[in-house]
Chain A
Amino acid sequence: MSVLAAHERARRQRILHSVARHSVLIGVGVVFVSPFVFVIFTALMTRDQALTRAIWPSPFRFQNFYDVLDQQPLLRWTWNTFLISSLSSIGVVLSCTPPAYALARMRFRGRNAVFLLVLSTMMLPIQVTIIPLYVLFSHLGWIGSLKPLIIPGFFGDAFSIFLLRQFFMTIPNALTDAARVDGASELRLMLRVVVPLAKPALVAVFLFNFLYCWNDLFAPLLYLGANPDSYTISLGLSEFRSSRHVDYELMMAACVLFTLPVTVLFFLAQRAFVEGVTVTGVKG
């Protein structure tokens, strides 16, 4: 009898604990999720309703998404953003793999010094370089074009080199040593042995850079600010309101359209993201 009662008590306590944990998690979860909900609801309101404190849209006005595409050159901005993000990310993957390979798997004197130099450049505030770069790009006639945002990607990126190097280090030496004895060149080792094994890291580097470019405001503001034709989404939306009047329903609709692709990307590639973040975070 008493054994059963004790059992029952323990069970009840377990359930109570579980309910308490879920309540806390849901409570905090509401804080994270409610902005999404409010923004999406507002994106679906009529203009009159968006000017009230109403939360639930009535009627639902899906027309807003069409209107905002109509009023702002959002598709053009999206194309520019996509072009910059994909091309410069391809550049980063191509240009960072060989240096990362050299730092991880080739033996030469001064390797650690070079690696430290790469690391230390990550700490440098970009403000120290942007002014001469602006002068340089304007001499080249690149200001207002997408070039200043794409081409530097093809010349290495410290963070990406770091991430790839960390990953390459985890590939067992035995795998490359065997091929090296057979007379394979370093280039062959990199392309045939290391790169195929490092696909997750390469995907992570591509995604990080893609996302960074997709989201970035600062560089587009500097180099594209003078030419509305080459605006990115971030830059275009940052000027959404330049008068006293603001159409919140359209602004929120634009935000939803802007956020949707990266959120979908996140769900598709969640594992690569999280692994990438933690590899750099813990080993940093």
Chain B
Amino acid sequence: MAATAISPAAARARRRRRRRTRTYGLAFLFLSPWIVGFLLFLVYPMVASLYFSFTHYDLLNSPRWIGLANYKYMLENDPFFWQAVRNTAWMIVIGLPLRLFWALMTATLLTMKVSGQRYYRTLYYLPTMVPPVAAALAFTYLLNPDLGPVNGVLAHLGIPGPLWFFDPSWSKPALVLLSLWGAGDAMIIYLAGLLDVPQTQIEAAKIDGANAVRRYWHVTLPSLSPVIFFTLVTGLIWTFQTFTEAYVAGNTTSGQKDTLGEPQGSLLFYAIWLYQQGFRYFNMGYASALAWVLFGATMLCTLVLIKSSERWVHVEGNQ
């Protein structure tokens, strides 16, 4: 028998090895749908798009290598690149914090103990269920300077309403209003976080004589900071890709779909410019370069955020 030739220890090792390769094989099998998708719909396109970004590619002719020319054109010659960057930065620096602040405030309101609390929560969350295209169309009507109810109500109060989506300096604020209306996704995450704040700490602060504002600032917010961090990171990544609402609102108010980001390029966000370059002008190489710069900027900002989180995100000792 061959088994006698092998020491018991070696046999054990072999069995273990065989078992391990079997678990590997099994895990691989279970993971395979994701692995195939990962390679086919992620790794391959990423590599290809990195390559395209150094080429001139119009889909009809095969890609022609042009080195860094796309990147150089972007930074030095493309008149709309910087406009798109500025618009997007505006949404990140002003729009996103406003949205998260509003979500936090409404979530805090929803923690108040009142009868019918459930119904208030449902009601506040409801706008988040509205499809973005429908919401954008609805807001182009609601904020219509002549017909819309918002300016109608303002007129009743004797306030001349702005032109909203028709005015380059009011179109982004109009977009922010729309995003506040649908901020229920962040709100519900904050609400869950707020309900998790340890009551004992709040009671202790109360006994120490801290008033409601100080309790909120010194107990509630620190304990909520991981949740705030999470919404900041996801919100940041998402805002970098602002597209749908701006695309729809811009097209609907300008009444045409050839020049995107109207009025006067004030809604020309980065992702919209990329779409226009790639899928309207079929500058696939240039659009790929734009995509990689977007990716780089997203990574950089996320890393900065993660780095900064060491200073302000409060970590529970037991986690």
Contacts and interface: CB of A to CB of B under 8 A. Distances in A.
B252 to A, nearest CB: 5
B147 A50 contact: yes
Contacts of B173: none
B42 interface: yes
A58 interface: no
Interface string B239-253: 011011001100110
Most A-side CB within 10 Å, residue of B46, B133, B147, B193: B133
Contact of A155 (B40, B192, B279): B40
B141 A131 contact: no
Nearest to A265: B129
A234 B131 contact: yes
Nearest to B41: A152
Contact of A241 (B115, B185, B193, B255): B255
B30 interface: yes
B41 to A, nearest CB: 5
A154 B244 CA distance: 25
Contact of A42 (B141, B227, B244, B291): B141
A156 B37 contact: yes
A183 to B, nearest CB: 14
B24 interface: yes
Contacts of B41: 129, 133, 152, 155
Nearest to A158: B34
Q: Say whether chain B's binding surface is mostly helix, strand, loop, or mixed.
A: helix
A258 interface: yes
Interface in A153-189: 154-157, 161, 186
Most B-side CB within 10 Å, residue of A32, A99, A133, A217: A32
B295 interface: yes
A228 interface: no
A76 to B, nearest CB: 17
A13 to B, nearest CB: 15
A102 interface: yes
Contacts of A25: 109-110, 112, 114, 120
Interface of B: 20, 23-24, 26-27, 29-34, 36-38, 40-42, 44-46, 48-49, 52, 59, 106, 109-110, 112, 114-115, 120, 122-127, 129-134, 137-139, 141-142, 144, 146-147, 149, 152, 181, 185, 188-189, 192-193, 196, 227, 230-231, 234, 237, 240-241, 243-244, 247-248, 251-252, 255-257, 271, 274-275, 278-279, 284, 287-288, 290-292, 294-295, 298-299, 302
Given A154-B33, A234-B244, A277-B192, 10 more contacts: A32-B181, A98-B30, A99-B34, A125-B291, A237-B134, A255-B138, A258-B131, A274-B188, A281-B231, A284-B234
30 contacts: A29-B123, A32-B126, A33-B123, A39-B142, A53-B147, A96-B34, A106-B27, A111-B27, A125-B241, A127-B294, A128-B45, A128-B46, A131-B52, A131-B287, A135-B59, A138-B59, A154-B37, A155-B37, A186-B26, A214-B131, A218-B244, A222-B275, A234-B133, A239-B257, A242-B256, A252-B141, A255-B134, A262-B130, A266-B126, A274-B125
